[in-house]
Amino acid sequence: MIYLASTSPRRRSLLRREGVRFKTLRPGYEEGGEAKGPPAALVKKHALGKAVSVAGRLKNGAVLAADTVVVFGGKIIGKPKSKKDAVRLLGRIQGKWHTVYTGVAWLEVRGGAVNKKRVFSETTRVRLKPLDRGAVARVFRSVDPMDKAGAYAIQCREPDIVAEVRGSWTSAAGLPIDALKRRRLI
């Protein structure tokens, strides 16, 4: 059995779309603090923290966890602190290229102990379309920006704000399905 260490509806949706059978468990891990260090290392650290927090509750199974950050201008852009901050964040990256890092942790638990661990990260480049105030307001009516790195969701279709993606679309959405398949984890 696969246990998804996440409350993200996007990650659940991506797995369901692939026909993966899984159960969801809320991780007992808090990212906390300021996002410092190389983005790839940071997302792997947070994904592993989430996975470990769930693995301790299992006797047998596989734990899948992920974490995503957006990097623009060499700085990590996290989740907005307020609606005003969300408007500011989206305004900074709209019309420009930025990088989305997603870290993944996969732990196999047997007899209550972790016997196999895989941790990796994927990088995707995304360019959003230029957005005026009306488009930003439409985005925020479609998607709550408060729980999303960069204050947007790549899967937002109304309005479609993505101009171009270089890399894995599903990785930018929060779970790199192709990488999981390549590694034969799903």
Q: Using the predicted structure, report yes or no on whether residue 122 has a pLDDT greater than 80.
A: yes
* Contact (CB, 8 A) for 48 and 29: no
Give the helix, strand, coil percentages of the chain, each rounded to 5.
35, 30, 35
- Residues carrying an active site annotation: 67
Overall pTM > 0.85: yes
pLDDT bin (cut points 50, 70, 90) of residue 99 is very high
Q: Using the predicted structure, report yes or no on whether residue 91 has a pLDDT greater than 70.
A: yes
Highest-pLDDT range among 28-37, 67-76, 84-93: 67-76
* Boundaries of every domain in the chain: 2-182
Average pLDDT over residues 89-108: 94
- pLDDT (tens digit, 9 = 90+) per residue, 141-186? 877 888 788 887 887 665 678 999 999 999 999 999 999 999 999 9
Q: What's the CATH class of domain 2-182?
A: alpha beta
Give the pLDDT confidence score for residue 49 in this predicted structure.
97
Give the pLDDT confidence score for residue 144 in this predicted structure.
81
Q: Which of 11, 8, 3 is nearest to 175 (CA)?
A: 11
Helix axes 133-142, 83-93, angle to 10 degrees: 120
Give the pLDDT confidence score for residue 32 in this predicted structure.
73
Who wins on pLDDT, 37 or 117? 117
